[in-house]
A and B are shown apart, each in its own frame.
Chain A
Amino acid sequence: MGLPFARLLAPRPEGLEGRDPDFIRRMLPRLWLGTSLYFRPEVNGFENVPDEPVLFVGNHSGGANIPDTWVFTLAYHTYFTVEGRPLAGLGHKIIAMTPVVGDFARKFGMVTAGNEKADELFANGASVMVYPGGDVEALRPWRDRNKIVFDGRKGFLRLAHRNNVKIVPVVATGGQDTFFVINDGRATARFLKLDKLLRLKTLPLSISFPWGLLPGDLPHVPLPAKIRIQVLPPIDLRELFGDDPDWDEAYDYVTSLMQVGLSNLATRTVIPVLG
């Protein structure tokens, strides 16, 4: 009886030591088969990735499920192989601590986000994946599904610049068609003073199965939307903006470039959800 509790309370690795190549190798075929049938993913552009540690910067969607993140992780491991350059996804500590999901994510390379941890990953030759928009982006309204929403967060630029690694932008469509966010609730969050009390900028209202109408989002059964992902050519911040960049200018450039990539990818959609 005490075993499950002991396992829950056992310390969990916060770095790449939690990655389990044997587990990835074992799970990859079955997960890719299921994903291919359910989300019919199209992932292109991996030939743009240079053979060196890079910072993948993506837009992600789909609320708590973030199916496009999983699709990218699976696609990366099929293209570069499990023995290739390790991919570490920086995630929130809450996800890492969640039973089952956290264990699964860690074995696939999820690392608890942190500046020192990220620097260490690059020093050890790994590539890193970040989603600067976080929950604000994953819970953006459906009408903004093809918009880059990084909410002004520029830490990823400093991370790439400090470690002298290139940024490889990754854009994805379809994730926000797996459930529907009606409103981001920014005005409501401000009215209830949640931004000051709980540092919550948004209070989205979503519709998902089986929950129906819900404030925020819980893990849900995603609609089988077609997911498309495009890996864009790398950006060298030092080459473009020098040793002492204007961060606002760099942010403007990277998000603008990603918006163009995302809008172009969205033109492949004939009917939302179906593909």
Chain B
Amino acid sequence: MATDVTRTVVVRRPVVEVAAFATDPDRLLPIMGGIDRFERVADGEYDVFLDVGTIHIGGRVMLENPAPNTLAWRSVRGTTSTFRLVVEEHPDGSLVTARMTLRLSGLLMARLSEVLGRGIMGRHLTAGLEQLRHHLEHESRA
């Protein structure tokens, strides 16, 4: 079983500037809303957890830049997930697209959990992208 969520945001800054920030995990992760804790454990390897009110969801992920203007991770421990963030040209600046996939084991309960997880992931992605947009449009220029 797997479910995925995609969210986008337009950042009114040049692609070069947005991509340099958004595809660098050491700059991106500290400002992402909803990521309660993260820690760099090795080169390209991070512990990343989402704070979902009562529980923390996540685990260890391998982060890489598989293509220009792209950041991706795959899980190596904990909740099985993948993540891909791509920065592209947009008439107003840059379009940032984030996609997250969650895979759970099981049948009925896994399906139900994935439905709930889809909403949770969507809200976390939105919060992270909004934080990124606000940081680049307002805070980093202050």
Contact = CB atoms under 8 A, between A and B. Distances in A.
B66 interface: no
Given A253-B138, A269-B123, A270-B52, A263 B116 contact: no
B126 A146 contact: yes
Given A267-B34, A270-B52, A270-B53, A146 B134 contact: no
Contacts of B34: 264, 267
Interface in A138-160: 146
Interface string B27-55: 00000011000000000000000111110
Contacts of A259: 130, 134
A260 B33 contact: yes
Contacts, number: 51
Nearest to A253: B138
A270 B130 CA distance: 19
Contacts of B131: 260, 263-264
Nearest to B131: A260
Interface residues of A, number: 15
Contacts of A31: none
Interface of B: 33-34, 50-54, 116, 119-120, 123-124, 126-127, 130-131, 133-134, 137-138
Given A260-B130, A267-B52, A268-B53, 4 more contacts: A256-B133, A267-B123, A267-B124, A270-B54
